[in-house]
Each structure stands twice: as structure tokens, then as C-alpha cells.
Amino acid sequence: MPSFSDFNTRAPWRPAASGSAEHTGELIGERDVAAGGRRANRVLYVLPRGGWRATVVAFPGDAVPHVGWHPLAGAAGRHPHSGGLLAILRERLRGSSGRLADAGLFVVEPARVESSGAAVYENLLQSCTATGEPLGYSSTGRRAATHLAALLEAAAEAAGAHGGPPQAAHGPLVVLTFSKGCVVANQLLTELALPTGGNDTESAGARLLGALAEVHYLDAGLQCRGAHLTDPAVAAALGKRSAPPRVALHGTPRQWRDQSRPWLAEEKARSAALLRDSGLRVVEREYLSQERPSLHMHFRCVDLFELDCFAGCGEDSKAGAHSEKRD
């Protein structure tokens, strides 16, 4: 299993301002792989200097610039909107009054971006096309959880070495996937649901999956099927866990009413039904429902999504589900 020591890390950060309550930075972690050469990710992060009680990890979509978001100093990223995604999520977290107000925040960029702008998370998926579309989801080797756990550990270690909080992240894990980043959520949920054989409950990947508390899909979409989890075996296995993660489906007409891709709405509805029937708490929210679909609307979903949509639901993650429209 990979660990922090397996990574060759480079960190193009800038020192945080004197007296800053947070440590902001970037880290590039790459690992040799016997088949297929090196796998690398750039991770952007904002970590409270006093430590954190929850961890939020976000995954951007295809490389489409968004002029409405401006990256934080010291964590601009290389993907066109990952730095802005970090900034807007940091603003949303710190402005909330919930348990994520002081969370450690990470944005994980795709391994590479095609000339067309297609984001390719090939290091977190079992297999995918050249432009990043998933070729199914499999729990074999816990590929995503193992790699992600090592990346988060590396980032926390790097921050600690430069005056940030020490060691790895703490508390429950909340995953936010924007647009094409949804493929990572599906992979993680598949790895959580299906056993891999053996007894690796103490591995870093297993611990990361065990901490997975919430998954938020933010206007998820692909150019093919696979944007939402529709495997009945995975849904049933998740429902048998003692504390299954909560799932929130946030969307706009840009994806949910796209007449050229009707499978997006169909998959979303099927996923919600399967997870609910298995006993998971599922929340659906539609935003800007009275507006015409647009790319601007797509990004606005991140500005508007209800971060604390599970507030008041209690701790029983297997109870209830509902759907609402939000303008």
C-alpha cells in the first residue's frame, strides 16, 4: 500500500502570512507504478493551524475556466478552476456555522488534462478512456482510497513541515465532486461497499473509507453514462453498513434537464431510488430551476449548494429522504 514515503513530493507553496490562522499551499505528489509509469496529482489545501475536526476533499471537473472564481494566493493550481474552487469552498466553509466551519480543505486536481480540456482521473479509477470517461467502477485494490489517503497524508506532512498543522487529517470525511469529478465519488463509494478480500481494515485506504460520512454531487455530468452510482449491488452493500455515508445530489437544469443527454436525469433518479431503497439518507436539491440552462449556471451550483443540507436530520443516516427545488 502506498504511503507518504512512497511519494516524490514537490510543493510550490508560498509562506503563509505572519499570524495567519490557516496554512495555504500546493503539493505535487507522484508515485512510480510498475505498469504505466508515474501517477501524479496536484493537491491544493487550506488547513487551520490549530488542527481540524473534519476533512473536506473536492474534485473539479473538465478544465473550463470560470472568471467568477479567483484563486487564493499560494494555491492557484494548474487546472483552470481548481484554485477558484478552493477559494469559493473555503469562503463557504468558514462562513458556515456548522461542523465543517473549521474543516481542513483539499482540492485534488485530475492527473492530467487533455488538449480538449477533458479532465482525466486515471490514477483514481480502475480504468477510463483517453478523455477520462470511466470504464466501470471496481473495488479491486481500493485504488482511489489508497492513493487519496497517501496524497492527503503527504499534504498534511508538507504543511506541518512549513509551520502548518502536524500529521494527517482528522475526523469525518466529506467528499464534494463537481461536474466530471463525480467519477471519483462513484469509485470511492464502490470501494467502500464491496469487499476486496483479506484483512486490511487498518490500512490507510481502509481508514479513509471508514471515515467517509457525506458525498455531495455538484451538478454531476459526463458525455456518457456513469455520472451517478447505479449498481444495485453497491447500493445494497452500502445500506448494510452500520453507518453508511449520506448522499446529496445537487443539480441545475444545465445537467438535469439536458435534452441532448437525457440519461443524466435518468441516472440521477435511478441512483437516488436505489440508495434510498437500500436505507441511505439521500437529499436532492435543484437550483436555478426557473432559468435557462447555461455554463454560468453550472458553476453557480457550487456557489449555491446547501452545504448543511443534512442539518436537523439527526444522526440516523438511514432515515428519510426528500427532494427540493431552490432558486
Lowest average pLDDT, out of 27-36, 52-61, 128-137, 271-280, goes to: 27-36
pLDDT at 321 > cutoff 50: no
Amino acid letter for position 260:
S
Q: Distance between CA 11 and CA 6 in Å, rounded?
A: 16
pLDDT in tens, 230-259: 999 999 999 999 999 999 999 999 999 999
Find, among 90, 204, 94, 95, the residue nearest to 150 by Cα.
204
Question: All 3 cell numbers of residue 66?
Answer: 470560470
pLDDT in tens, 13-48: 454 555 678 889 888 876 654 444 456 789 999 998
Give the count of domains, the chain. 1
Instruction: Work out whether the CA dihedral 297, 58, 267, 133 comes out positive or negative.
Output: positive
Strand order in the sheet with 104-108: 8-10, 22-33, 37-48, 104-108, 55-59, 173-178, 212-218, 246-251, 282-287, 321-326
Q: Distance between CA 283 and CA 249 in Å, rounded?
A: 6
Amino acid letter for position 14:
R
Beta bridge partners of 96: none
Range of the domain at 266: 4-326
Strand, helix or coil for residue 136: coil
pLDDT grade, residue 5 (50/70/90)? very low
Structural contact between residues 326 and 306, judged by C-beta atoms closer than 8 angstroms: yes
Question: All 3 cell numbers of residue 102?
Answer: 473549521
pLDDT at 303 > cutoff 80: yes
Longest dimension (CA), the chain: 52
Instruction: Work out whether the CA dihedral 311, 210, 281, 110 comes out positive or negative.
Output: positive
Question: Using alpha carbons only, what angle is made at residue 184 by residues 250 and 162, rounded to the nearest 5 degrees?
Answer: 105
Structural contact between residues 10 and 1, judged by C-beta atoms closer than 8 angstroms: no
What CATH number has the domain bearing residue 21?
Answer: 3.40.50.1820
DSSP code per residue over 165-232: --SS--S-EEEEEEGGGHHHHHHHHHHHHS--SS--TTSHHHHHHHTEEEEEEES---SSS-SS---H
Find, among 225, 206, 232, 301, the residue nearest to 268 by Cα.
225
- The values of phi and psi at residue 247, to 5°, are -125, 130
Strand, helix or coil for residue 21: coil
Which tops the pLDDT comparison, 197 or 16? 197
pLDDT at 168 > cutoff 50: no
pLDDT grade, residue 99 (50/70/90)? confident
Query: Which residue has 475526523 as its cell numbers?
Result: 171
- List CB contacts of 83: < 8 A, sequence separation 6 or more: 44, 69, 70, 71, 72, 75, 76, 77, 107
pLDDT in tens, 142-159: 999 999 998 898 888 877
Mean pLDDT over each residue of the chain, to the nearest integer: 85
pLDDT grade, residue 169 (50/70/90)? low
